[in-house]
């Protein structure tokens, strides 16, 4: 008898995502677009979505579509920070000096936007390796250029990474989604090849971030909101694995409302863990 190493419910999802990834790579040859960036949207705010180490693909384009489906009406810009070299996954994963430069460039992009659109909210949303870029870019911001918040999907950064500076530079703090089922890429994969910050072991996208003791603990309680994957996420297309962490329907239901809420708090975390809508009258147009 042959036993599958993939948890039930994920096999078809992985096959579908891998097929779409191949299609997206071919489509990328025809050029990239930003369907949710225009002057009207920029005038309302900006969400910057950072790709994983695979670069631009349907996996992260689905995040942008999901935000739009969920009612986010500000600009949604997809940023590919990865190495342009063929097969440059490991470069994107482990070349930290290059990645820190990319994060600094992103911080400059945020400052330019804030100068052109004073008072408008900015969110950084990173999936997998892009989560580290989101954190480092926020750390690189000057004191007068705080962003509204950071959203991390399956972050490929170590669980012991200290988030203090990123939290200080974001008004609402950080929402981070993790899943114990993400054992292939953020368990075995990061143990062998390392996390974005060069540690070998399970990443925060599998275990969650460690919370400190002492004076720093209060800041973590106020500004770090960790959402563990749960069964109720299944109907929204996230099966706990890495590839479905940016599912269009999952993003529309659980991530888009984070941009629309006036504030983040622990009550929000409880509602999400219970699979409840965050908005009183959720109007998210999901795709079947």
Which contiguous run of DSSP H or E holds residue 130?
helix 129-139
What is the per-residue pLDDT for 140?
98
The CATH number for 214's domain is: 3.40.50.1820
Which of these, 254, 286, 287, lies nearest to 268 by C-alpha position? 254
pLDDT of 150 = 98
Confidence of residue 3 (pLDDT cuts 50, 70, 90): very low
Residue 270: exposure state from Cβ atoms within 10 A (0-12, 13-18, ≥19): exposed
Kindly indicate the confidence band of residue 28, based on its pLDDT and cuts at 50, 70 and 90: very low
Q: What is the pLDDT of residues 210-239, one digit of tens each?
A: 999 988 999 999 999 999 998 656 668 899
279 within a domain of the structure (yes/no): no
What's the confidence (pLDDT) of residue 1? Answer: 33
Looking at the chain, the whole-number percentage of residues with pLDDT higher than 70 is 84
Question: Between vectors from CA 37 to CA 95 and to CA 28, what angle results, nearest 5°?
Answer: 55
Q: Does residue 14 lie in a domain region? A: no
Judged by DSSP in three states, 119 sits in coil
Q: Report d(CA 151, CA 131) in Å as an integer.
A: 8
3-class state of residue 206 by DSSP: helix
Is position 158 within any domain? yes
Which tokens is 54 given?
């695979």
On the question of pLDDT at 30 being above 70, the answer is no
- The answer to whether residue 283 sits within a structural domain is no
pLDDT band at 157 (very low <50, low <70, confident <90, very high): very high
Residue with tokens 């009207």: 40
Answer yes or no: is 21 within a domain. no
- The residue whose two tokens read 């994957």 is 229
Instruction: Work out the pLDDT band at 280, boundaries 50, 70, 90.
Output: low
Note whether residue 4 is domain-resident. no
What's 59's DSSP letter?
H
| pLDDT number for residue 17 | 46
Tell me: pLDDT of 121 over 70: yes
Give the H/E segment covering residue 124.
Answer: strand 122-127
pLDDT in tens, 167-209: 999 999 999 999 999 999 999 999 999 999 999 999 999 999 9
**Taking phi first (over 0 means left), then psi (-120 to 50 degrees means alpha), and beta for anything else, what does residue 246 get?**
alpha
Label residue 45 exposed, middle or buried (CB < 10 Å: 0-12, 13-18, 19+): buried
Residues 48-106: tens digit of each pLDDT = 999 999 999 999 999 999 999 999 999 999 999 999 988 789 999 999 999 999 999 99
Which pLDDT does position 235 carry in this prediction? 65
Q: Are 56 and 80 in contact (CB under 8 A)?
A: yes
Q: Is residue 29 part of a domain?
A: no
- Domain range for 171 is 37-273
Contact in structure between 284 and 256 (CB atoms under 8 Å): yes
Question: Stretch 103-121: mean pLDDT, rounded?
Answer: 98
pLDDT of the residue at 228? 92
pLDDT at res. 233: 61
Given this model, what pLDDT does residue 87 score? 77
Task: Count CA atoms closer than 13 A to 39's CA, side-chain side.
Answer: 0
pLDDT for 274 equals: 78
Mean pLDDT taken over the chain? 87
- Looking at residues 130-153, what average pLDDT do you find? 97
Q: pLDDT-derived band of residue 281, with 50, 70 and 90 as boundaries?
A: low
Residue 67 domain flag? yes
- Residues 228 and 241: beta-carbon distance below 8 Å: no
> Structurally, how many domains does the chain consist of?
1
Are β-strands 122-127 and 75-79 bridged in parallel, bridged antiparallel, or unpaired? unpaired
Q: What is the pLDDT of residue 2?
A: 31
Q: How far is CA 286 from the centre of its chain?
A: 19
């Amino acid at each position: 008898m042959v036993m599958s190493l993939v948890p039930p419910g994920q096999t078809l999802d992985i096959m579908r995502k891998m097929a779409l990834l191949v299609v997206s790579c071919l489509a990328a040859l025809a050029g990239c677009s930003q369907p949710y960036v225009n002057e009207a949207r920029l005038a309302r705010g900006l969400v910057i979505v950072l790709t994983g180490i695979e670069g631009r693909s349907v996996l992260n384009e689905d995040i942008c579509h999901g935000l739009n489906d969920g009612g986010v009406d500000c600009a949604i810009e997809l940023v590919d920070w990865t190495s342009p070299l063929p097969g440059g996954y490991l470069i994107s994963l482990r070349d930290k000096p290059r990645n820190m430069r990319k994060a600094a460039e992103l911080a400059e992009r945020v400052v330019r936007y804030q100068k052109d659109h004073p008072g408008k909210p900015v969110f950084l949303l990173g999936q997998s390796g892009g989560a580290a870029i989101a954190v480092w870019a926020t750390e690189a911001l000057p004191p007068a250029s705080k962003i509204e918040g950071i959203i991390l999907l399956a972050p490929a950064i170590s669980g012991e990474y200290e988030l203090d500076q990123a939290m200080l530079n974001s008004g609402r703090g950080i929402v981070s989604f993790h899943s114990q089922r993400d054992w292939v890429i953020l368990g075995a994969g990061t143990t062998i090849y390392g996390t974005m910050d060069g540690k070998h072991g399970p990443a925060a996208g599998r275990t969650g971030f460690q919370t400190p003791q002492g004076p720093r603990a209060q800041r973590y309680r106020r500004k770090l909101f960790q959402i563990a994957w749960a069964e109720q996420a299944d109907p929204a297309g996230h099966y706990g694995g890495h590839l479905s962490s940016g599912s269009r329907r999952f993003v529309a239901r659980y991530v888009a409302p984070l941009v629309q809420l006036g504030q983040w708090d622990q009550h929000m975390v409880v509602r999400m863990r219970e699979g409840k809508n965050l908005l009183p009258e959720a109007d998210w147009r999901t795709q079947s």
